[in-house]
């Protein structure tokens, strides 16, 4: 018999579980998992917390990236992303009308700044920095 060790065992206090159960119940009873009053409340509270005029909730990180790139009007422009990223990073850029240019990563798994500098073209409008496995990109010049 083999015993598996869980990757993480997150502790939730009983009071938190009770509160979350109640909130989830209200959301499910409302019949609106998205675009309802709870999403609006989250967006308002988040924008207030972050000190911004607007807060927009989206369904995924991919959608968030695509929205940002569409706001930059990427049609006919290029965006540089690291080779070590989830495919959705490139998909978001492609859906926003950008040409994707891949740049190499360094030993720290983050975007290599030397290769990045070589890949920049006249039409490059954006560089997407990706944090992998908890390692935060800090070497970009």
The angle subtended at Cα 93 by Cα 109 and Cα 139, nearest 5°, is 30
135 has which bridge partners? Answer: 132
Provide the residue ranges of all domains of the chain, joining segments of one domain with +.
14-50, 61-127
pLDDT in tens, the chain (141 residues): 677 776 777 888 999 999 999 999 998 998 888 888 888 999 999 999 999 999 999 989 999 999 999 999 999 999 999 998 999 999 999 999 999 999 999 888 888 989 999 999 999 999 999 887 777 776 655
Q: Please state the pTM of the whole predicted model.
A: 0.71
Distance of alpha carbon 89 from the chain centroid: 9
Residue 127 burial by Cβ neighbours in a 10 Å radius (0-12, 13-18, 19+): middle
């Amino acid at each position: 018999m083999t015993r598996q060790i869980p990757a993480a065992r997150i502790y939730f206090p009983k009071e938190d579980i009770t509160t979350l159960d109640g909130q989830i119940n209200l959301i499910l009873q409302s019949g609106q998992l998205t675009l309802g009053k709870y999403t609006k409340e989250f967006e308002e509270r988040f924008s207030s917390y972050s000190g911004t005029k607007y807060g927009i909730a989206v369904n995924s990180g991919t959608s968030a990236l695509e929205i940002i790139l569409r706001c930059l009007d990427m049609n006919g422009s290029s965006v540089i992303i690291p080779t070590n990223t989830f495919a959705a990073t490139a998909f978001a850029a492609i859906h926003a009308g950008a040409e994707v240019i891949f740049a190499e990563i360094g030993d720290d798994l983050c975007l290599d700044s030397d290769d990045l500098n070589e890949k920049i073209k006249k039409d490059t409008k954006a560089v997407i920095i990706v944090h992998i496995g908890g390692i935060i990109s800090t070497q970009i010049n």
